Amino acid sequence: MKKLKQSTYHLIDGNRGTHKADAYVDIFISILIILTVFVVFLESYDGIVSKYGAFFNWFERFSISIFLIEYILRIWTADLLYPELSKTQARFKFIFSFFGLIDLVAILPFFIPLIMKVDLRIIRSLRLLRLVRIFKLGRHSGSLKLVGEVLRETRFDLLVTMFVTFILLIVASTLMFYLERDAQPNTFKNIGQAMWWAVATLTTVGYGDIYPVTGLGKLLSGFIALLGIGIVALPTGIISSAFVEKMKARPKKNTQKHLNCACPHCGKEVENLVKKPDKG
């Protein structure tokens, strides 16, 4: 039973397995997650639903069955994921972990209507929770794990940037309110409406539904728009530099390989170390 649990643990977590089957399971789960999210988008088209509704229902049952089996197996093998804990503690830790909750939320919308009577409109909104399955890809993709690590390491820098941006929004919207409220009392009724202008201007989107007409208002608007170019670029620069550092810190692939050949003098097999040419 212990060997079976170990094999199961490797199968559902391809990053720890060493056999091709582990990678195949990894790829299958990832593709299934993508397809389930794609089906959610297709179900928003009435014409497609009327034609392929039966297939969508079958696919939903199939995917839910796979995800439910995966969820149960992950609970069963949780003590291998957290070997320092007891079996009960490890299972509870997985259930309440980020990906454990994602797994649970991904399958709940299918079972809730079967357990209790709820309004059909609520059922339709619950079905949107199936989009949560896309976060499961983080477990099956090394690239997404890299994204998660970068965001986790830069979270404080990003929070500071967001805080500074929020302060700038407050200051800009307050100034614009007092500059424009007399000229446009219906447009700038309060600071809240002025903040909508500040968001559109600071992000350089510029919807054009609300804009200043006074000279000072236009001057402030231009200044905020120019400032927004740098403010919006800050998080991009922080994340980009973190990605570069992460990529540099990654261990380089071995450019050497071992070839066995026979010695021309004694005939014994010897190991010859050949360096693979670097790609320019």
Per-position DSSP letters for 71-91, written without gaps between them: HHHHHHTHHHHSTTS-HHHHH
- pLDDT for res 55: 93
| CATH of the domain spanning 2-140 | 1.20.120.350
Residues 42-82: tens digit of each pLDDT: 887 888 989 998 999 999 899 889 989 989 998 998 888 88
Whether the domain at 2-140 and the domain at 155-249 fall into the same CATH topology: no
More confident residue, 213 or 261: 213
Residues 85-94: tens digit of each pLDDT: 888 999 999 9
- Residue 275 pLDDT exceeds 50: no
Evaluate whether 76 touches 1 at the Cβ level (below 8 Å): no
> Which residues does 112 contact at the CB level (< 8 Å), separation at least 6?
118, 123, 126
pLDDT band at residue 257 under the 50/70/90 scheme: very low
Task: State the number of CA atoms in the 13 A half-sphere of 199 facing the CB.
Answer: 9
Question: pLDDT > 70: what percent of the chain?
Answer: 76
Domains of the chain, residue spans: 2-140, 155-249
Q: For domain 155-249, give its CATH number from 1.10.287.70, 3.30.460.20, 1.50.10.10, 3.40.50.1370.
A: 1.10.287.70
Mean pLDDT of 24-47: 83
More confident residue, 42 or 267: 42
* pTM, rounded to two decimals: 0.57
